[in-house]
Amino acid sequence: MADNPFPQSRDQLLQAYRTMRTIREFEERLHIDFGRGDIPGFVHLYAGEEAAAAGIMMHLGSGDRIASTHRGHGHCIAKGVDPLAMMKEIYGKKGGSCEGKGGSMHIADLGKGMMGANGILGAGAPLVCGAALAAKFRAQAGQPSDVAISFVGDGASNQGTFLESLNLAAVWNLPAIFVVENNGYAESTSRDYGTAVDSYVDRAAGFGLPGVTVDGTDFFAVHEAAGEIIARARKGGGPAMLECKMVRFHGHFEGDAQTYRAPGELDDIRSHHDCLKKFAAAVTAAGVLSAAELQAIDHEVLGLIERAVVEAKAAPQPTQADLLTDVYVNY
Amino acid sequence: MARKISMKQAINEAIDQEMARDPSVIMMGEDIVGGAGGDGERDAWGGVLGVTKGLYAKHGDRLLDTPLSESAYVGAAVGAAACGMRPIAELMFVDFMGVCFDQIYNQAAKFRYMFGGKAETPVVIRAMCGAGFRAAAQHSQMLTPLFTHIPGLKVVCPSTPYDTKGLLIQSIRDNDPVIFLEHKNLYGFEGEVPEASYAIPFGEANVVREGKHATVVTYGLMVHRALDAAAALAKDGVELEVIDLRTLSPLDLDTVLESVEKTGHLVCVDEAHPRCNIACDISAQVVQQAFGALKGPIEMVSAPHTPVPFSPVLEDLYIPSAAQIVAAVRRSLAGGRQ
């Protein structure tokens, strides 16, 4: 093997690829199975955006919290939520991450620091202020300096909750990071139509926060920028914003015909802006990872996803007794 | 015993004692410390009506003044609760819940169920409620039915300083989200309150006056109106039983049913607007579960289906009165079967 020109170790690069490939295969399988009518409800796929989740979450431990979006599967997988439990959840089955009571838009695993995908756009940002405040109190009591990260799309970045949270995090100097996943579309409406400023760095500055924009399809760029912002927050340097410019391989939701896209747009982003292809090309060209190593991961991941689907389909349905449980801790 | 303090002081004492007992209790709200960041006195206000005055001196930065951003800080309280803290968020007026309702009814209320029973969100959201302050349509509502409707929320609305202290301590210790509503016209109301800490369990109504002829069920300020009505009716030999629900969710229906079995007549009183309110809810449940015990029609006394007016003349007409309760009791008794 050649000398490693990347700041990440070989093991970290293998981990990053495995995370991104797991998200990709999870989502592409959901796309197929949703089309077959196997999956109830709404599904919003993260395929195409994997480098952001992987590049950011590699800096986090289980004490660090994240709040996700309606497009949350990628964040869950990258934060360490069990894909087998996730698949059961998406099928609405017992043994799912939320025992079938949450579904795709509400997968959470608080033990892993995953505070939930969220069906309400922008709602995660205030929650992350609270998680960061709790982390700040814990750090003052001598515990590790954890951070909290709010993910938001370019669309939901116009919600008042998000904008208020930028200010609250700044005035309380919270270890909170706001990641804008800019995939160019607020559902079907273009980012440029719905957001007056071009730069999220400008918007962050308006709230007194530092901001960085990176190519969100470049794992290495995301990893580096996120690392600096997260390290700064851990040292008490306060909140920051990270804009990841990225592409969405699928529609807003499954079933979206995507007629708002330009002709040839989907072919172009899959051909030229696929974060997994870019990552694989970089690491193999540098001779750090071999094509065979990547293929072995591909093979393992396909097996994992197949197993997840088989187990999800075989898992028991919730029963009438489950309808009324867990509304309260005590009532 | 025999120490009398106001409801306002009871709130302060409950928060003080719980913050001293449990370091995970924090509190946030607009001006709850007062004067943060200015050149003058920190702790200048202690909340807009001085309810939290003095707590900053004892508990320091565990009390946080906030920007005027209810969505952000109520959501932050909910998020901190999901991460091991026991936050108390104060909104000055319950009317402001509209600004941050998503964080309450889509987030805090749903986490436990939506996450498969694996989340606890021990947050208390306190606010003043109720009319009579000449504060007009956006600072005078009850809104209790709105919160009672939502599964996952607990709703408390006390009528005395004693209940306020015990129920607020229980709210802070409780592991579910609690909406704690304090009637602003009771803030100065004094009553006997032990200095020692105590918790009153949720879901236990209080029979504040025993009587055999008719039952009045209510909560909050209207408990006092019902007691006034009871005193007036007693002169005519009509003995009212007055039940203070204390918590609207969970609801102690058993105490209501026992009373109706005894008296056969029920008047439900609610300061909230009349459609889908607590009075309607109690009436419907009593009809379903104790129809045979009823000797007359159930009567309801509520505020009208209008916003709260500003004019003192109109506001006094708006708020349910003891006279209206007396009339309702008489209607129920007159419409009775033998």
**pLDDT tens-digit map of A134-171:** 999 999 999 999 999 999 999 999 999 999 999 999 99
Residue in the structure block whose two tokens are 């029609």: B297
Closest-CA residue in chain A for B106? Answer: A120
Q: Please check the confidence at residue A198 and state whether its pLDDT lies above 80.
A: yes
CA distance A67 to chain B (A): 9
Q: Report helix angle A291-314 to A275-285, nearest 10.
A: 150
Chain A residues close to B156, C-beta within 8 Å: none
Query: In the Cβ-directed half-sphere of B178, how many Cα atoms lie within 13 Å?
Result: 30
Classify residue A227 as exposed, middle or buried by CB count within 10 Å of its CB (0-12, 13-18, 19+).
Answer: middle
B139 catalytic residue (yes or no): yes
The DSSP result for B96-118, as a single string, is: GGGGGHIIIIIIITTHHHHTTT-
Q: What are phi and psi of B147, to 5 degrees?
A: -80, -35
Residue in the structure block whose two tokens are 């309400």: A120
In chain A, residues 152-171 whose CB comes closer than 8 Å to chain B: 160-161, 164-165, 167-168, 171
Top residue of A76, A99, A109, A129 to mutate, by most chain B CBs within 10 Å, is: A129
* A293-330: burial string, b at 16+ Cβ within 10 Å, e else: bbeebbeebeebbeebbebbeebeebeeeeeeebbbee
CA distance B50 to chain A (A): 23
- Inter-chain residue contact B79 with A131, CB threshold 8 Å: yes
- Which pLDDT does position B142 carry in this prediction? 98
Classify residue B16 as exposed, middle or buried by CB count within 10 Å of its CB (0-12, 13-18, 19+).
Answer: middle
Q: Which long-range contacts (CB under 8 A, 24 or more apart) does A27-30 make?
A: A27/A73, A27/A74, A27/A249, A27/A250, A29/A305, A29/A309, A30/A73, A30/A90, A30/A254
DSSP class of residue A211 equals: E
CA distance B296 to chain A (A): 32
Chain B residues close to A137, C-beta within 8 Å: 26, 62, 85
* Ramachandran category for residue B47: left, alpha or beta (phi over 0 → left; psi -120 to 50 → alpha): left
- Which pLDDT does position B336 carry in this prediction? 64
- Inter-chain residue contact B69 with A164, CB threshold 8 Å: yes
Q: Please check the confidence at residue A223 and state whether its pLDDT lies above 80.
A: yes
CA distance B61 to chain A (A): 10
Provide the percentage of residues in chain B whose pLDDT is more than 90: 95
Cα distance between residue A277 and residue A20, in whole Å: 11
Q: What are phi and psi of A149, to 5 degrees?
A: -125, 130
Classify strands B247-249 and B154-156 as parallel, antiparallel or unpaired: antiparallel
In chain A, residues 134-153 whose CB comes closer than 8 Å to chain B: 134-135, 137-138, 141, 148
**pLDDT tens-digit map of A281-291:** 999 999 999 99
**pLDDT tens-digit map of A296-309:** 999 999 999 999 99
Top residue of B74, B83, B100, B106 to mutate, by most chain A CBs within 10 Å, is: B83
Cα distance between residue A108 and residue A73, in whole Å: 10
**pLDDT tens-digit map of B222-280:** 999 999 999 999 999 999 999 999 999 999 999 999 999 999 999 999 999 999 999 99
**pLDDT tens-digit map of B72-107:** 999 999 999 999 999 999 999 999 999 999 999 999
A23 and A53 Cβ atoms separated by less than 8 Å: yes
- Which pLDDT does position A196 carry in this prediction? 92
| Residue A272 tokens, joined | 């030229």
Q: CA–CA distance from B210 to each of B207, B214, B259 (Å)?
A: 7, 10, 9
Using CB atoms, pick whichever of B75, B83, B102 lies closest to residue A134.
B83
Classify residue A291 as exposed, middle or buried by CB count within 10 Å of its CB (0-12, 13-18, 19+).
Answer: exposed
Q: A325 — contact with chain B (CB < 8 Å)? A: yes
Q: Tell me the average pLDDT across A73-96.
A: 98
CA distance B82 to chain A (A): 8
Chain B residues close to A129, C-beta within 8 Å: 72-73, 75-76, 79
Q: Please check the confidence at residue B160 and state whether its pLDDT lies above 60.
A: yes
Q: A193 — contact with chain B (CB < 8 Å)? A: no
Q: Using alpha carbons only, what angle is made at residue B157 by residues B155 and B163, rounded to the nearest 5 degrees?
A: 120
Q: CA–CA distance from A43 to each of A30, A103, A283, A288 (Å)?
A: 8, 9, 32, 36
Cα distance between residue B138 and residue B331, in whole Å: 33
Q: Tell me the average pLDDT across B21-46.
A: 93
- Inter-chain residue contact B107 with A106, CB threshold 8 Å: no
First to last CA, chain A: 62
Provide the percentage of residues in chain A whose pLDDT is more than 90: 98
| Residue B117 tokens, joined | 């029973």
Which residue of the set B59, B139, B265, B273 is catalytic? B139
Residue in the structure block whose two tokens are 């990176």: A214
Cα distance between residue B324 and residue A163, in whole Å: 48
**pLDDT tens-digit map of B188-213:** 999 999 999 999 999 999 999 999 99
Question: Which residues on adjacent β-strands are paired with residue A181?
Answer: A153, A244
Provide the percentage of residues in chain A whose pLDDT is more than 70: 100
- Which pLDDT does position A1 carry in this prediction? 60
Element (H, E) at B302: strand B299-302
- Inter-chain residue contact B67 with A135, CB threshold 8 Å: no
- Which pLDDT does position B335 carry in this prediction? 87
Identify residue A264 by its one-letter amino acid code: G
Closest-CA residue in chain A for B77? Answer: A130
| Residue B108 tokens, joined | 């805090």
Chain B residues close to A119, C-beta within 8 Å: 106
* A29-53: burial string, b at 16+ Cβ within 10 Å, e else: bbbebbeeeebeeebbbbbbbbbbb
Closest-CA residue in chain B for A86? Answer: B115
Size of interface A-B (CB pairs under 8 A): 153
Name the nearest CA neighbour of A329 among B118, B81, B82, B248. B118
Cα distance between residue A72 and residue A116, in whole Å: 8
B127 and B139 Cβ atoms separated by less than 8 Å: no
Q: Tell me the average pLDDT across B2-21.
A: 97
- Which pLDDT does position B337 carry in this prediction? 56
Q: Please check the confidence at residue B338 and state whether its pLDDT lies above 60.
A: no
pTM (predicted TM-score): 0.96
- Inter-chain residue contact B67 with A128, CB threshold 8 Å: no
DSSP class of residue A318 equals: P
Chain A residues close to B74, C-beta within 8 Å: 126
Closest-CA residue in chain B for A92? Answer: B116
Chain B residues close to A327, C-beta within 8 Å: 112-113, 151-152
Q: Tell me the average pLDDT across B108-123.
A: 97
A278 and A218 Cβ atoms separated by less than 8 Å: yes
Residue-averaged pLDDT of chain B: 96
CA distance A296 to chain B (A): 34
Question: Which residues on adjacent β-strands are paired with residue B301?
Answer: B269
**pLDDT tens-digit map of B49-66:** 999 999 999 999 999 999
- Which pLDDT does position B167 carry in this prediction? 98
Closest-CA residue in chain B for A331? Answer: B250
Q: Please check the confidence at residue A319 and state whether its pLDDT lies above 70.
A: yes
